[in-house]
Each structure stands twice: as C-alpha cells, then as structure tokens.
Amino acid sequence: MAGDIDPTVAKPTRAEMRGAHLEHLHALAGGLGIRGYRRLRREALVDAVLAGGVSLGETSLGWGDLERKNLAELHALASTREVPRYRLLRRETLISALAAGGEDVGGDAS
C-alpha cells in the first residue's frame, strides 16, 4: 500500500519516510520507544525514527549536522539515544552528548 514502509524488506530512505502515513510513522516511533513522538512535527519524527535505527543501525551525525537541528529535533534524538536528563541540558551540552554517542558528558543542568 502506498505510504507504508516495510522496514524488514529494505532500508527506508528519508523520502520514503516523508511519504509515509503519519499513523505508520507513529507506529514505528512507538515500537522504537521514542517518547513524545505524537508531539513531534513530521520532519523531526522522521529524524527520530531514522536515528532510532529502523533497519539503519546507528546513525552518525556530526557536530555541524546537530547544530543545524532545532531543539525539538535534538530532544527527539536524545530520547532515542537515551541521553540522561537531556531536557535539562543546555543546547551546546546536548549537542556534545549526541556527538559523543549519547554518553553522559557531565554538563550542567542549568
């Protein structure tokens, strides 16, 4: 059916994910354990699902890629990578944690 993605058959592309029905993206996000996925805009949801590893494994983003993302997108990525207390981190500290692979970077939470 058009708009549906079968992640077991092939690696979904970003274009396929953008064309998927929203309820299908929600189902993928829910299956990956992405918290707050219903509040994300489509693009942030696609990023979160792709970063969550739907047949893609671990997505590696560089510092520049992360700096171009808005805070909601960074939070979605941090949620999928289980960055501790990511909502309390400053933007720069959050980007550092994501660039380091989700490790606790010991940044301040103020």
Residue 8 has pLDDT above 60, yes or no: no
Write the DSSP string, 18-32: HHS-HHHHHHHHHHH
> Nearest Cα to 88, choosing from 99, 101, 78, 77?
78
Please list, residue by residue across 46-56, b when 16 or more beta carbons sit within 10 angstroms of its beta carbon and e when fewer do. Answer: bbbbbbbebee
Domain ranges of the chain: 14-99
The model's pLDDT over 26-47, given as tens digits with 9 standing for 90+, comes to: 888 887 777 777 888 888 888 8
pTM, two decimal places: 0.44
